[in-house]
Each structure stands twice: as structure tokens, then as C-alpha cells.
Amino acid sequence: MMNNDVIVAGYICLDLLPELYPADNGTPFEYVPGKLLEVGGTRAACGGAVPNTGLALHKLGHRPRLLGRVGVDAFGNIVSALVEGAGQGLSRSLINDEQLYTANTFIISPPGQDRMFLAHAGANRNFSSDDVLNAGFDDVRLLHFGYPPLLDHSFRDNGNDTKKMFQVAKSRNVTTSLDMCLPDPGAGSAKIDWNAWLDNVLPQVDVFLPSIDELVFMLGNDKLSHLADKLLQRGVAVVVIKLGSQGVYVKITDNPKRLAQMGACAPVHLEQWQNMEFMVPCFEAKVKGTTGAGDCTIAGFLSGLLRGMSAADAGRFACAVGSCNVEAPDAYSGLMDFDATLKRLNSGWNMEDDCVDKKIWRKTNAGVYARSG
Ligand SMILES: Nc1ncnc2c1ncn2[C@@H]1O[C@H](COP(=O)(O)OP(=O)(O)OP(=O)(O)O)[C@@H](O)[C@H]1O
Ligand SMILES: [Mg+2]
């Protein structure tokens, strides 16, 4: 068996989606105590950064090791079977937690109404840096970590456990990347000082790929370039901000030494990365659902990085994978393998660039939008 080239660690859960029918008389769905409501079949799918980004990387031709905790219970068996179904051996590194349930999210999504989530973090509460460090880094070039706001050990204590995990990875020449999520507004993680957490952890993060909503929650509302500067000043080398249906914004350090310190995935051609700032709009897609779109966009960018692409090509590839994702309702079925995705990208796939202010941004020969001034 070939060794893993990338670790994807952090949050994993089982999503359960009962199909709800539209009400006959058009009345909105409501919870009525004592009433039986007939529903359609329930779809089960893996959720969280580990399966979403991990399985996308596998689809794109990489050899990920998926490190996340599942309970020793029926839902844990389903998660393992779904992961294994995407590729033989992929479930091997999942960690069985003897104490807690498998995390699960019931997604109550009535037609025409906003959805509600009933979420239980379960075994993720026991995830810690030891789960990654015990597995080792042989041949691993990249460590991607997702959703610290849902992982107790990762958000507590100013992020010291997360910092330690990234520090050890970097000492082994492994490139590090980080994805966020929004904390549950009622949970403990919503009340911690995220500024201090970012101060502590980001110096160890080479590539940071949050969404704009998460950044605004943690740093306050500001211009994209100012938010990115706040992250670069904390020591991140490459900032990728996901903008939902507007694609991604990328800003990269002007410091060549910092780029060289990225470890195994450090860019070989510095001039293709250093001091870059650009936008990549989404590619045209018939949207069937955005589940896992952010995680798949990240997988696209990381695949570009692992393959030594230029920053512009990695950004375009990220949006290409994101746009494939939204063409299917789930996180996985819309994705294509690396060659097919690249072929689609290179055969005149139109960008949805109406959202780009052409007074500020102009399209470059590399196919991204850079500042015109
Ligand atoms: N309508 C769309 N058409 C094409 N691509 C899209 C569309 N909506 C989202 N995407 C892709 O998905 C990414 C999702 O970005 P978003 O800002 O929603 O991240 P996120 O909040 O982390 O998402 P997620 O909820 O999946 O974690 C975008 O950067 C883009 O590449
Ligand atoms: Mg996300």
C-alpha cells in the first residue's frame, strides 16, 4: 500500500436528512406535539471537514489519511461504511471512541423554509492533537485541520493543543492548513476570545482558508484586504477567503522567507505566489445544493498546492471543484477526478464574474482578477 501524502484531521459526523413533503394546504411546517407526520426516506451522508475535504482529495487523486473520532455504535458503523465506500482503506485510520456517541446532525429541511439542524458533537469532544501526533507523519506533505470551533480540545485553552499539533507538523517539514466553521451561538466556543486564539495558532498555519462569515465573526467587519492583512500579520503565508457564490479571494505574503518556511509544499516558483492578491469568481453551475461546497473548494486549492501549481491556477482549480460540488445536492457526487476537472476548466468554462467590480479588478492572462491599479 502506498503511504499517505496528506492528513485530513478534525470534525466528522453523520448527517441524516429525512425528506419532508410540502404541506397540502401550504401551511408552514411546524412541530406539533403528539402528531404523527409522514415523511419520505431518510438519506444518510458523512459530514464535517474530515470526510468532505478528505474524500474530495481522494477523488482528486491524493492519498489522504482521515483522522477523526467516531463512537462504537450503529452510526459509527454507517460513517465507516460510507467512507470506505468512497475508497478502499479510507476508513482504516478513523479512531474508535469508546466513551462517546458518533456525532450526528438531523437536518430538518421543510420545502420552501429555512433548515434547522439538531447537532450532537459526540466523539469529536475527545479529539485532540494526540490523535494526529500518534499516527505520525511518514511521507506526509500536508496536514489539513478542520472545524476547531466544534472540537473542545482545539478551541479551549487559547488553542494551545492546536498550536502544538501544528508545531510538531512543521518541525517535520509538513505544510499546515486550517479551515474554520461558525460556532453554535449558544455554545461555549462562541464566547471564547477568537482574536487571542488566532494570535496563538496562526503563526503555525501556512494556508488559512476560512469563509468570510467566519472571519467577520472572529475579527469584525472590514474590507477583504484588511481582514487578509490581519491574518498575514499573524504569520499566515497564504490566505484564501471563501465568498460563497462569489468564489474566493486570495492574498499571499510578500515575504519570500515565510513562503520558503511552508515546508514540503512550499512553492518552487516563488514569483507565482509571492505578494499575490486576486479574486476567482465561481464557474457557471446549475446549483442543486451547497452542502460541503466550502470543504471541496479547499480540497481543490490544496490539490493545486500539492501538485505545484501557481497560486492563480490553484485558485481557479479550487473554484472549479467548488462549482462541481454544487451541481449535486450532496458533498461528493458532483466531483470529478483531477484530469476531468482540469479538462473542463481548460475547455472554456465560463466564470460568473458579474459580482466582480471591474473598476477595481481586471482579468489577467492567468485567468484570475487582480487589482487594476
Ligand atoms: N452558486 C455557486 N456556484 C458555484 N460555486 C459555488 C456556489 N456557491 C458556493 N460555491 C463554491 O463553494 C465555496 C463555498 O464557499 P462558502 O463561503 O459558502 O464556504 P463555507 O461557508 O465554508 O461553505 P461550507 O458551508 O460548505 O463549509 C465558494 O468559495 C465557491 O467556490
Ligand atoms: Mg466551511
User: For residues 7 and 100, what is the distance between their CA atoms, to the nearest angstrom?
Assistant: 23
Q: Which residue has the cell 429525512?
A: 18
| pLDDT interval class at 3 (50, 70, 90) | confident
Low-confidence winner among 34-38, 58-62, 134-138, 164-168 (lowest mean pLDDT): 34-38
Residue 39 near residue 20 (C-beta atoms within 8 A): yes
Ligand with smallest separation from the Cα of 181: 2
User: For residues 51 and 11, what is the distance between their CA atoms, to the nearest angstrom?
Assistant: 9
- Would the pLDDT of 283 be above 90? yes
State the fold for domain 8-22+42-356.
Answer: UDP-N-acetylmuramoyl-L-alanine:D-glutamate ligase (3.40.1190)
User: For residues 148 and 188, what is the distance between their CA atoms, to the nearest angstrom?
Assistant: 12
> Within 6 Å (CB) of ligand 1, which residues are found?
211, 242-245, 247-248, 282, 285, 287, 290, 292-295, 297, 319, 322-323, 326
Counting ligand 1 atoms within 8 A of each CB, the residue from 46, 209, 216, 245 with the most, and so the one to mutate, is 245
Decide: residue 301, CB within 10 A, 0-12 exposed, 13-18 middle, 19+ buried.
buried
Q: What residue segments make up the domains of the chain, in order of their start? A: 8-22+42-356
The per-residue pLDDT of the chain, averaged, comes to: 95
Q: Which residue has the cell 466564470?
A: 351
User: For residues 232 and 31, what is the distance between their CA atoms, to the nearest angstrom?
Assistant: 47
- How confident is the model over 32-69, as pLDDT tens digits? 899 898 899 999 999 999 999 999 999 999 999 999 99
The ligand 1 atom nearest the CA atom of 52: 26
- How confident is the model over 306-358, as pLDDT tens digits? 999 999 999 999 999 999 999 998 899 999 999 999 999 999 999 999 999 99
Cβ contacts of 214-218, under 8 Å, gap ≥ 24: 214/180, 214/181, 214/182, 215/241, 217/182, 217/183, 218/180, 218/194
The ligand 1 atom nearest the CA atom of 214: 21
- Residues 6 or more apart from 276 whose CB is under 8 A from it? 250, 251, 252, 311, 312, 370
Distance (angstroms) between ligand 1 centre and the Cα of 294 equals 5
Q: Quick one: cell of 209?
A: 482558508
Over residues 169-181, the mean pLDDT reads 98
Looking at residue 354, what is its pLDDT?
96
Quote the percentage of the chain above a pLDDT of 70: 99
Distance (angstroms) between ligand 2 centre and the Cα of 169 equals 23
